[in-house]
Amino acid sequence: MNLTDKGTKTAQLSAPDRIIYADNHLIHGPDDITAYMKGVCYDAAAYMRYLYNAKISFGQLTTISAQNWLPLFNFSKGRKWDGQSSLPGGKAIGFCRVTGMQFFHAAIAVGGTEIRAINGGLLGAGWLYPVDLRKVLTKKNPDGSFNYDGTTIFVYISDL
């Protein structure tokens, strides 16, 4: 991914300071993640997980981009969201179409059932506008999927 100067400086903070910074400026604060990195939804989710001290090295942060993050997120090995439970704040959330099990979007949980993301339409078009998944994914199907945008999707919480 491409980090901005501000993104590089923040990524180089100490591990405890990165968490505080992420909470105060990006998860619950006024900053737009695009001031820190340039990329797609997967890059934004990876940058946040790095700030929260996930097993992502600085080298990986600066060399992996876009869908190449999917093997690290390993969403399908995570927990499926049930449509009601709180999402652990700071965790990466993955969205996949049931047909073909193809992941098409990633976001970061804010807490409760809200997420922040970029480039995701109703699932988070802009970082500054948190999305409540219970308002977007209103009907859970018997198989645990949700109807969304003319298809059915699963929502996973990554263990990364």
- What are the residue ranges spanned by the domains of the chain? 2-70, 74-157
What are the structure tokens assigned to 117, written together? Answer: 């993301």
pTM of the shown model: 0.97
- Report CA-CA distances (Å) from 125 to 5, 10, 57: 23, 23, 27
Residue 148 makes CB contacts below 8 A (sequence gap 6+) with 95, 122, 123, 136, 137
pLDDT in tens, 37-53: 999 999 999 999 999 99
**Neighbour tally for 58: CB within 10 Å:** 12
| pLDDT for position 46 | 99
Residue whose structure tokens are 């078009």: 125
Strands 151-157 and 92-97: antiparallel
pLDDT in tens, 53-102: 999 999 999 999 999 999 999 999 999 999 999 999 999 999 999 999 99
Which residues sit opposite 92 in a β-bridge?
Answer: 108
| pLDDT for position 36 | 99
| pLDDT for position 142 | 97
